[in-house]
Structure 1
């Protein structure tokens, strides 16, 4: 095959891929993500406000908020509702703490057929593991930078 034929085949293939690839409306996707993420944050703020109304201090109310959002995310993942929310809201549903809980619960739910030890136990952090690893590592690096800068008096 000559070089010209290869280029013609590649060009034809690229044209085909472009024609069948769905075009995403960026502005609509951003609006959906903003809406879903905003609603999750609104729910979290309502939980904090209710906690404060019943006499909890700021830290305790925030802790109850996180626990409640993680619980709701895991529950909605198990019932199949959160994946629908995530497919609609995109990053708006996957970025907050609820998205992290969803990734852990979805993995556990998906591998439960393989048993508790080799299914759920071995693979529960398959998706969330890298997030935990790099979150801890970057926190460590930033801690070193902070310590170094405070040592130099910056």
Structure 2
């Protein structure tokens, strides 16, 4: 008779073992390469336009978002994501990919009800979480500074 435990054990025999080290290495390498591109863009903006490192941050992030959105539109960012896993999802390019994917997925429903609505569903939750997290960290930092 097949019991729940026997069934789970028989499934384990047929499931492939996850390759944690290789997956982590790929995520680290791709995420690091994305950051390397960002650093290169920062140096580019500093050299070509005379920006300080602080001033070069905004155009660097904007350029990375544009590149990720274009790669998503051409279907290439999904292939990078399948290869790298979390390595492509963590930087700002992963957020751009998520929003662009949502917009492309719902474009048949129209510009307002399809693209805009679904794109901002995702963006809204991320922005709210980021704002709340920044507030909490700010309160903790302020409390620590006033106490010590």
* Residue 143 in structure 1 maps to residue 108 in structure 2: no
Whole-Å Cα distance in 2 between the matches of residues 81 and 137 of structure 1? 33
Q: TM-score, normalised by structure 1?
A: 0.86
In structure 2, the CA distance between the partners of 1:31 and 1:13, relative to structure 1 (3 Å rule), is same
Q: What displacement does 1:130 show?
A: 2.9
Partner of 1:28 in structure 2?
22
Q: Superposition RMSD on alpha carbons, in Å?
A: 1.7
Q: Give the paired residue count.
A: 147
Whole-Å Cα distance in 2 between the matches of residues 136 and 19 of structure 1? 45
Residue correspondence of structure 1 range 1-154 to structure 2 within 5 A: 8-54=2-48, 55-152=50-147, 154=148
Any conservation in 2 of the 1:107–1:126 contact (CA below 8 Å)? Answer: no
Whole-Å Cα distance in 2 between the matches of residues 38 and 60 of structure 1? 22
Pick which of 80-89 and 46-55 moved more: 46-55
- Structure 1: gaps of 5 or more residues: none
Q: What displacement does 1:75 show?
A: 0.6
Whole-Å Cα distance in 2 between the matches of residues 91 and 48 of structure 1? 23
Q: TM-score, normalised by structure 2?
A: 0.89
